[in-house]
Amino acid sequence: MCFKLFLAFVALFFCKEKTCNPQDFGAGSVVCVCNITYCDEFEPVNVKPGFATIIESSKDGKRFFRRQISISTRKENKATYYETDPYFEIKINRAKKYQRILGFGGAFTDSATINIESLPSSMARRIVRDYYSNYGIQYNVGRIPIGGCDFSTRPYTYDDVEGDFGLKYFSLSKEDLKFKMPSIKYASKVSKSPLWLFASAWSAPTWMKTSNSLIGGTLKGKPGGKYYEIWANYLINNGILVSGLTAQNEPQLNFPINSMNFSPKNERDFIKFNLGPALKRSGYISKNFSLIIVDDDIIYLKPFTSTILSDKIARKYVSGIAYHWYKNNAYPRDLIKEVSERYPDKLLLSTEACIMGNISLGNWSRGEAYAKDIIEGLNRGSQGWVDWNLALNMNGGPNWVNNYVDAPIIVNSEKKEYYKNPMFYILGHFSKLLAPNSIRIDVSINKSQSNEAICAAFETSKHETIVIVFNPMSTDMNLNIRDPNKGTIVTKLQAKSIMTIVYN
Ligand SMILES: *[C@@H]1O[C@H](CO)[C@@H](O)[C@H](O)[C@H]1NC(C)=O
Ligand SMILES: *[C@@H]1O[C@H](CO)[C@@H](O)[C@H](O)[C@H]1NC(C)=O
Ligand SMILES: *[C@@H]1O[C@H](CO)[C@@H](O)[C@H](O)[C@H]1NC(C)=O
Ligand SMILES: *[C@@H]1O[C@H](CO)[C@@H](O)[C@H](O)[C@H]1NC(C)=O
Ligand SMILES: *[C@@H]1O[C@H](CO)[C@@H](O)[C@H](O)[C@H]1NC(C)=O
């Protein structure tokens, strides 16, 4: 009796689905509020033969809403779904395969982890679980700034002792020890797949730079010279190089935040004469480690890759190419595709994205911007997508140069609450089910005129098929997935929504 009661209690306690606790701040949709006792979470997804599991989020408030429908294997029901416009038909062409997925993630900046640690520790741990665990959106990638960036509370590097050419005073910061590392360690503990962590530096110490400031300028001297050599050693010294390193964050940035410029030639020669050999000496090149170039807007993909990768020596040190999402709507996105096709042996990743400007709690259109960018990038060969700050405060900071932006999780430490924006769920529509090593597969689309829905399809290493469809339009539509091997899935795609469909 007692035992039965206990079991019932356990079942009630553990099996009750924890759904979104919505709050409307007037920005078009809702956030899900998490406090010390409550937060929504997602049970792992079970795939049943003959059924498709559909996961849906929408502007009108659905968040990871889950249902199962059966897959029809009847042949004669063709085209009965088109009776009403608009429609969107996806035909799966499994035989044609494209890139392998590396993963999805966000950045463990000083500010993100200061915000996380400003909450009671049980909540701080839970934010990391929301992102990285099976009960969250299962990120498997993390970006780590080497030293400070603008999302720090002060300007600093790991060696601010003027003229310390031997890097005798090099040391990690209190931010690393107190804020970044606890979050990173916990993420790696709760993540099911091994974390793929990569690091990027924003600026060298002022004494190594022509601007004598953390903002702007270049390294003093020339590639191959003293300052470039010290800088290569500095990058390797930091002890947080795990799976990858970008040669420089935004080498072409001209904006008043921590930054340091490299021309394509200088990045090439820095890699060729200093960074590549230093990585090799330290054993990184022979490990499963990626030195990644560009790490800037897509307009720089071509000049940097063609200059760096046409050099035989530089090329052998480089295993990846990264781009950032800023101005992606201003340039042709096929710049991504060109690079992916020209360098099929190199990893290709989107490594930074955020909505600039003030936070906007529950803003669905910001989530839509993420959905569009992720799908358009994946459909052009990108192997993953990495968000910027994991969590920001109610001002979109802290940021020591007042460059405030938005984030998928906003922390209100005064109220001991945090808010999950639509961007969080939209990212989850990709990261949660699209496990590392999934392969993108071809689709052909038949849709009604001026239908702006977009989609991408994948096969996981467990042979599950994943289709992600995003509807930016204000009308519902008939959705029809035809898979010659498995049957037909007929459903409705709601106005202003995103859907992940998984079947075996
Ligand atoms: C939502 O974000 C978009 C893009 O940043 C912005 O244009 C719009 O004004 C925001 N909406 C609201 C209601 O704040
Ligand atoms: C946390 O949120 C839940 C769900 O809305 C609510 O029942 C509970 O009272 C809240 N707890 C605190 C401490 O505010
Ligand atoms: C090397 O890295 C790739 C990409 O993350 C991964 O798929 C592969 O399993 C790794 N190999 C080893 C030997 O760790
Ligand atoms: C951001 O918020 C601040 C403070 O409320 C305000 O002064 C500023 O104009 C806002 N900026 C934008 C771009 O909306
Ligand atoms: C696309 O759908 C329309 C509407 O049902 C149909 O008439 C047409 O034949 C289809 N086209 C292809 C290429 O399947």
> What's the rounded Cα separation, in Å, for the pair 127 and 389?
13
The answer to whether residue 322 is domain-embedded is yes
Last residue of one domain, picked from the residues 398, 431, 464: 431
Looking up residue 76, the CATH number of its domain turns out to be 2.60.40.1180
* Residues 266 and 332 placed together within one structural domain of the fold: yes
Give 414 Cα–ligand 4 centroid separation in angstroms.
21
The one catalytic residue among 56, 250, 267, 368: 250
The answer to whether residue 32 is domain-embedded is no
Atom of ligand 5 nearest to the CA of 79: 5
Nearest CA to ligand 2 atom 4: 38
* Residues 379 and 449 placed together within one structural domain of the fold: no
Nearest CA to ligand 4 atom 9: 358
Nearest CA to ligand 1 atom 11: 27
* Residues 85 and 115 placed together within one structural domain of the fold: no
Q: How much is the pLDDT for 458?
A: 98
> What's the rounded Cα separation, in Å, for the pair 315 and 137?
35
Give the DSSP letter of residue 346: S
166: exposed, middle or buried (Cβ count in 10 Å: 0-12, 13-18, 19+): exposed
Query: Is 76 annotated in the active site?
Result: no
pTM for the full predicted model = 0.94
Residue (of 204, 85, 208) closest to 155 by Cα position: 204
Name every protein residue with a CB atom under 6 angstroms from any ligand 2 atom.
Answer: 21, 35-38
Looking up residue 131, the CATH number of its domain turns out to be 3.20.20.80
pLDDT in tens, 153-186: 999 999 999 999 999 999 999 999 999 999 999 9
> What's the rounded Cα separation, in Å, for the pair 133 and 139?
7
The answer to whether residue 268 is domain-embedded is yes
Give the DSSP letter of residue 199: E
The answer to whether residue 1 is domain-embedded is no
Last residue of one domain, picked from the residues 431, 458, 492: 431
Contacts of 493 (CB under 8 A, 6+ apart): 88, 453, 469, 471, 476, 477, 478, 479, 499
Atom of ligand 4 nearest to the CA of 358: 1
Q: How much is the pLDDT for 83?
A: 52
* Residues 345 and 448 placed together within one structural domain of the fold: no
End-to-end CA distance of the chain: 41
* Residues 404 and 350 placed together within one structural domain of the fold: yes
Q: Judge if the beta carbon of residue 288 lies within 6 A of ligand 3.
A: yes
Last residue of one domain, picked from the residues 396, 431, 466: 431
Ligand 3 pocket test: which of 140, 196, 288, 292 has the largest number of ligand atoms within 8 Å of its C-beta? 288
Q: Judge if the beta carbon of residue 239 lies within 6 A of ligand 4.
A: no
Q: How much is the pLDDT for 488?
A: 94
Question: Could you tell me the residue range of the domain that residue 397 belongs to?
Answer: 104-431
* Residues 396 and 496 placed together within one structural domain of the fold: no
Query: Is 17 annotated in the active site?
Result: no
* Residues 153 and 293 placed together within one structural domain of the fold: yes
Q: Judge if the beta carbon of residue 357 lies within 6 A of ligand 4.
A: yes
> What's the rounded Cα separation, in Å, for the pair 388 and 370?
12
* Residues 273 and 134 placed together within one structural domain of the fold: yes
Ligand lying closest to the C-alpha of residue 26: 1
Give 77 Cα–ligand 5 centroid separation in angstroms.
14
Give 180 Cα–ligand 4 centroid separation in angstroms.
28
Give 358 Cα–ligand 4 centroid separation in angstroms.
6
Name the domain count of the chain: 2
412: exposed, middle or buried (Cβ count in 10 Å: 0-12, 13-18, 19+): middle
Contact of 314 with 275, CB cutoff 8 Å: no
Ligand lying closest to the C-alpha of residue 404: 4
Nearest CA to ligand 4 atom 11: 358
* Residues 344 and 466 placed together within one structural domain of the fold: no
Q: What is the pLDDT along the chain (504 residues), one digit of tens a residue?
A: 344 445 445 444 444 679 999 999 999 999 999 999 999 999 888 899 999 999 999 999 999 999 999 998 876 455 555 556 789 999 999 999 999 999 999 999 999 999 999 999 999 999 999 999 999 999 999 999 999 999 999 999 999 999 999 999 999 999 999 999 999 999 999 999 999 999 999 999 999 999 999 999 999 999 999 999 999 999 998 767 789 999 999 999 999 999 999 999 999 999 999 999 999 999 998 888 999 999 999 999 999 999 999 999 999 999 999 999 999 999 999 999 999 999 999 999 999 999 999 999 999 999 999 999 999 999 999 999 999 999 999 999 999 999 999 999 999 999 999 999 999 999 999 999 999 999 999 999 999 888 999 999 999 999 999 999 999 999 999 999 999 999 999 999 999 999 999 999
* Residues 237 and 94 placed together within one structural domain of the fold: no
Q: What is the 3-state secondary structure (H, E, C) of 95-155?
A: EEEEEECCEEEEECCHHHHHHHHCCCHHHHHHHHHHHHCCCCCCCCEEEEEECCCCCCCCC
* Residues 252 and 333 placed together within one structural domain of the fold: yes
pLDDT in tens, 207-229: 999 999 999 999 999 999 999 99
The answer to whether residue 344 is domain-embedded is yes
* Residues 183 and 260 placed together within one structural domain of the fold: yes
Ligand 1 pocket test: which of 360, 370, 372, 496 has the largest number of ligand atoms within 8 Å of its C-beta? 360
Nearest CA to ligand 3 atom 14: 288
